[in-house]
Structure 1
Amino acid sequence: MVDFKILSSTLSDDQVLAKGQKGYEEAINIGNLMYRYTTPAVVVKAKSVNDVRSTVVFARDNKLRITVKNGGHSYMGYCLNEGGIVLDLSLMNTCHIDYKKMLIDMDAGLVWKDVYYKYLEDKRNIVIGGQCPWVGVSGFTLGAGLSPFSRSYGLGCDNLLEMTIVTWEGEVVKVSREDKDPEKRELFWALAGGGGGNFGVTVSMTSRMHKLRDHKGRVVCGQLIWNLPQQKEDFEKMMNVFNTTKCPDELTLDALWSHTKGKQLTGGMTVIYNGAMGKAQDALKNLLAFNPSVINLEEMEWTGWVHKSEGWDPKSKVFHHHASFIFAEGAITPELTTKISDIVEEATKVVGITDDNLPNSPKCHVLWDHIGGETEKVGSDETPFPWRQGHYVSNIKMQWNCRSKTREVLDFIKQCQEELLPYAIEQKAAYLNYIDVTTKDWQQAYYGNNYRRLQEIKTKWDPENLFWNWQSIELIKDGKTVPHPGGIKKWEEWWKRYVPLIDLKDECSPKTEEGVYERDAKLREEICKNVSQNGTGKASNGIKK
């Protein structure tokens, strides 16, 4: 039995939280019911690099799994684990900005809303971060980091200059893009786009900032929307013009197929223009000619649009799953546009959308994030993100609130993958930050020809595979890949045990977050008891006797 009092004595009692203790549920809460009741033995709320170091060494010495949680936005819930330690970095959240050098130093526990609203006072400047303000800075950046302004300034990983990590041995290591030590330079390369939870615990990073194109810091944001199928012809013609016309780097157009109240299907473009209204309208005139039913464009500070995005809702009562694809320039043909529209229409039937379209009701969408511009000026092997010819990073999301639909939804998404992969780059390209355990040959889908190099770096810096998840970089031994303990079969075994035990659909939602955590604690206890009785024993405390 592992004695966590030893860890508590190294840190403090209020930093080490076990199941049932106050603060435990809040610390591990995520918005997806598929993974919310994953039960670590303890959560450690680190306040310093030394706290991180002590926790890593304790996990290593006791052969415990350790995963890192910041924003908690991993689509697969990889920030959590069964029976190990969750290292919560949210208290490590300081930031320093050097406006003369245009550099920003960020602790890894920050979420983007704190950077944007608490620290970045001069909104004529921008850091390449997430559009959702609740996303963690480290997970976003380590997974490459797509931003609405990436067409102007590159990916988040392209702007990284320096990082500090704690290795599996508890060593604190600083690495940089131009590091004189070749091994550290290789580690920096792997971290800058190779994904979190692979090489160590990132505790801080330094990135470039940029001046916006407009000297007053104005940008144009908004939406163009077409009702489907009523405006199907106009929408498809607009898409064809968009697909065959080169956009200025200042213009980002993120497409979204979704539905509104009354089960109205829509196709739309989310507009982000790096400049003032006059230039934005000139850049959009070809698309505006196709009669969108909604034209909602507004000149604002760039953080004004970020503010409209929503984070995870602690009161969430839904399951959701995602799949991703990356398409090259010119791939959005009429054939593909029609196929995506058909997929969304069919998906609404699978999840069973409702007229009210409330946050906890079934939903589905297909979107793409528009990249290219500066992102395609980087070589495919200059960072772990290889798909530099990509222009459209697509994501299918399906959300449902009835546990019995889980298998049907996953089967439908698999069917969508089979239909859309032929249009993806090399018939396989996907995006790491839209991670999905069902992705076929994920090593190639996320990393392409960069995967072997990542394995070599992983083997050098984490030879005992202390940091792993179901899709973490695999070790090499004697020239061969060493499969880690996870994988699609393990994942399927996991959700087959857990999902049938979870159903919040018919429960009354607690009115407060505290009420949510009390409800979750009771349900977690029932789940752990049930799983333990079925012979696994892992969910009860996760510690081998």
Structure 2
Amino acid sequence: MSMLNRRRFLAGTGAAVATSGAVAALGTPAAAAQPAAAAQGASRGARITTVTPADPRYVDMVSGSNARLVGTPEAIRVPANTQEVVEVVREAVRDRKQIVIRSGGHCFEDFTFNNEAEILIDLRLINQVGYDDRRKAFYVDPGATLLDIYETLHSGWGVTLPGGGCHSVGAGGHFAGGGYGVLSREHGIVSDHIYAVEVVTVDKAGKVRAVIASRDPKDPNRDLLWAFAGGGGGNFGVVTRYWLRTRGATGAPENLLPRPPSTVYYVQVGWPWEKVTKAAFKRLLQKYTEWSRKHSGADSPYTALGHWLFIQHQSSGPILLVGQMDATVPDARKLLDDFIDYLSAAMGTEPVWSDIQHLPFMKATTFGTTAGEPLNNPNLRTMHKSAYMKSDFPDRQVEVLYRQLTRPDYTNQYTYVVLHSAGGQINELSATETASSHRDSHLVIFYECYWHKAEDDEKNLGWMRDTYREVYADTGGVPVPNRVTDGCYINYPDKDLSDPELNKSSVPWHDLYYKGNYRRLQQVKAKWDPTDFFRHRHSVRLPGKR
């Protein structure tokens, strides 16, 4: 492979790869005791940072990781602690202003950056990570970003979280929506580890307060914690702190969250797309899903391997495998080599290059979460879709994917269909244990597209919509929950799911995200946000509302 194509490969792999004890007692309003603000940013008296359109910072703060989406709020409020969030929300309630919430700015749809919101609450100054000895849990604030979280947990206590692969994603929305990463097959998703959450809420009378909810069976606020563990961001209030502890874990801090391996094999392998025939492409998807289902159990030695298979548009270069294997498990290198050989046999060709590095865990994590333009360029325009996969690809879906990924009239360096390994420990919880209901899939498919110029919007949006609609044409253009597919991932929000021209199924957008858990989420909404103060395009609706 030429150095140019190798650099393109390395750039492309980045597309899919991220309170102290002095707070209120569980189940009580935080305002009734000492709030989490005591361990967050120092109070600045009556002055909470406010950025208006006349401020030179404004243009930087009204968009995030998707340059297609630009908000027009009349003000951006930047609180530094929980009490300041309470004050900002109280003012918005008083003035009847619609708010939206930002933590890392990585929402792929217009839930944060839009033309309807009047006040944008930017949580990036609320960003601490540490250990709460009183709660015997680690705390992570919503503005903390993934790489900082991983580094702090690892350096301080030798633990980690099985979160996503982009360094700058904020905890606020990522944790609330689930949070998948290369460690998820072995340790579940991030939301499975949420023990408690502090949330600023608004009641029926318009009273604003901070409450803390935990998964303690005796906690009267436990339903709010359940909803935040997979129900998505912006639905019930403003989260100002998470506490995390693995279910059933006890003892010293280093035993309370997953311990990462000391070393891993960091894997990057590329196969020549131009040598993969249509028949070989079909065989690849058949064999890959066969392998994925076979090794989807929590007892498989391959739970130690988390990976993405990038099937990019043929014009862009090779088919790519990017992954990480725990190097400390028995026969780790042989397991990894056997998997790569298996994929090579399925495609009927050998890799054009293979780069397998034996690295310390944090070195691999830092490299993987910062590699490539899509992870580092906030000026890219993007579109994303998702689908959970429970079985094999039907032949018709394979035909569509091959045709769309080899179309000669379409080219884009950063267009991918990404097969993300799932199963393992993710599927050990029941579908109702948390709000994250997708517990019997072996793959999550991410449809991803990144580009630079506004004049290319129509071309790329059109390719994405055409591909997705055709792949799932048999079920109304979306991956409805059935024996093959299982709906969509809330952290890959997709406004097309609520467009009757693009979702012709009988399954509404909320059941694609939440399946049978949506009705319970509505009950939580009615209890904790009865006036629907916190809302966006796909926020949980009050009972009886659509």
**What secondary structure is seen at the aligned counterpart in 2 of 1:135?**
coil
In the alignment, the residues of structure 2 paired with residue 444 and residue 61 of structure 1 have an alpha-carbon distance, to the nearest angstrom, of: 34
- Give the aligned CA root-mean-square deviation in angstroms: 2.9
Q: 1:68 to 1:43 in 2, by over 3 A?
A: same
Aligned to 1:517: none
In the alignment, the residues of structure 1 paired with residue 72 and residue 378 of structure 2 have an alpha-carbon distance, to the nearest angstrom, of: 18
1:130-175 CA-to-partner distances (Å, cap 9, x unmatched) read: 2111001121110011121111011111111111111023211110
Identity of matched residues, %: 22
1:184-231 CA-to-partner distances (Å, cap 9, x unmatched) read: 1111111111011000011001113544474xx112221222111214
In the alignment, the residues of structure 1 paired with residue 386 and residue 87 of structure 2 have an alpha-carbon distance, to the nearest angstrom, of: 37
Aligned to 2:290: 244
In the alignment, the residues of structure 2 paired with residue 164 and residue 175 of structure 1 have an alpha-carbon distance, to the nearest angstrom, of: 7
> Which of residues 461, 474, 480 is equivalent to 1:410?
461
Normalised by the length of structure 2, the TM-score is 0.76
> Which of residues 91, 100, 106 is equivalent to 1:73?
106
In the alignment, the residues of structure 2 paired with residue 268 and residue 337 of structure 1 have an alpha-carbon distance, to the nearest angstrom, of: 18
Aligned to 1:496: none
Q: 1:57 to 1:106 in 2, by over 3 A?
A: same
- The answer to whether the 8 Å contact 2:194/2:229 transfers is yes
Aligned to 1:386: 437
AA of the residue aligned to 1:61: R
Aligned to 1:461: 528
Aligned to 1:451: 518
In the alignment, the residues of structure 2 paired with residue 134 and residue 213 of structure 1 have an alpha-carbon distance, to the nearest angstrom, of: 20
AA of the residue aligned to 1:319: R
Establish whether residue 283 from structure 1 lines up as the match of residue 342 from structure 2. no
Q: What is the correspondence of 1:152-301 to structure 2 with a 5 Å cutoff?
A: 152-168=186-202, 169-182=207-220, 184-208=221-245, 209-212=256-259, 214=261, 217-232=262-277, 237-245=283-291, 246-247=294-295, 248-258=302-312, 263-276=315-328, 279-289=331-341, 290=344, 291-301=350-360
Establish whether residue 48 from structure 1 lines up as the match of residue 78 from structure 2. no
- In structure 2, stretches of 5+ residues that fail to align are 1-42, 246-255, 296-301, 345-349, 498-502
- The answer to whether the 8 Å contact 1:162/1:177 transfers is yes
1:220-267 CA-to-partner distances (Å, cap 9, x unmatched) read: 22122211121446665454433223232112231111259xx44322
Establish whether residue 434 from structure 1 lines up as the match of residue 492 from structure 2. yes
AA of the residue aligned to 2:523: E
Deviation at 1:284, TM superposition (A): 2.7
Normalised by the length of structure 1, the TM-score is 0.76
Deviation at 1:272, TM superposition (A): 1.6
Deviation at 1:13, TM superposition (A): 4.9
Establish whether residue 19 from structure 1 lines up as the match of residue 39 from structure 2. no
In the alignment, the residues of structure 1 paired with residue 112 and residue 530 of structure 2 have an alpha-carbon distance, to the nearest angstrom, of: 21
- The answer to whether the 8 Å contact 2:236/2:534 transfers is yes
AA of the residue aligned to 2:190: G
- The answer to whether the 8 Å contact 1:239/1:334 transfers is no
- The answer to whether the 8 Å contact 1:257/1:265 transfers is no
Establish whether residue 340 from structure 1 lines up as the match of residue 340 from structure 2. no
In the alignment, the residues of structure 2 paired with residue 225 and residue 99 of structure 1 have an alpha-carbon distance, to the nearest angstrom, of: 46
Q: 1:239 to 1:139 in 2, by over 3 A?
A: same
In the alignment, the residues of structure 2 paired with residue 119 and residue 249 of structure 1 have an alpha-carbon distance, to the nearest angstrom, of: 22
- The answer to whether the 8 Å contact 1:253/1:370 transfers is yes
1:29-88 CA-to-partner distances (Å, cap 9, x unmatched) read: 31322213x211111111111100001111111111111111100001422343511111
In the alignment, the residues of structure 2 paired with residue 241 and residue 378 of structure 1 have an alpha-carbon distance, to the nearest angstrom, of: 27
Q: 1:149 to 1:316 in 2, by over 3 A?
A: closer
1:405-454 CA-to-partner distances (Å, cap 9, x unmatched) read: 43454343332222333566425611000111002321111001111111
Aligned to 2:415: 364
Q: 1:130 to 1:213 in 2, by over 3 A?
A: closer
Establish whether residue 127 from structure 1 lines up as the match of residue 161 from structure 2. yes
Aligned to 2:131: 97
Q: 1:221 to 1:235 in 2, by over 3 A?
A: farther
- The answer to whether the 8 Å contact 1:327/1:424 transfers is no
**What secondary structure is seen at the aligned counterpart in 1 of 2:155?**
coil
Q: 1:404 to 1:271 in 2, by over 3 A?
A: closer
Deviation at 1:342, TM superposition (A): 2.9
Aligned to 1:487: none
- The answer to whether the 8 Å contact 1:69/1:87 transfers is yes
> Which of residues 79, 85, 94 is equivalent to 2:119?
85
- The answer to whether the 8 Å contact 1:326/1:424 transfers is no
**What secondary structure is seen at the aligned counterpart in 1 of 2:523?**
helix
**What secondary structure is seen at the aligned counterpart in 2 of 1:92?**
coil
Aligned length: 454
Q: 1:267 to 1:365 in 2, by over 3 A?
A: same
In the alignment, the residues of structure 2 paired with residue 389 and residue 191 of structure 1 have an alpha-carbon distance, to the nearest angstrom, of: 21
- In structure 1, stretches of 5+ residues that fail to align are 1-8, 358-362, 484-545
- The answer to whether the 8 Å contact 2:385/2:494 transfers is yes
Q: Which stretch of the first structure deviates more once superposed, 96-105 or 368-377?
A: 96-105
- The answer to whether the 8 Å contact 1:218/1:276 transfers is yes
In the alignment, the residues of structure 1 paired with residue 227 and residue 332 of structure 2 have an alpha-carbon distance, to the nearest angstrom, of: 37
Q: 1:424 to 1:331 in 2, by over 3 A?
A: farther
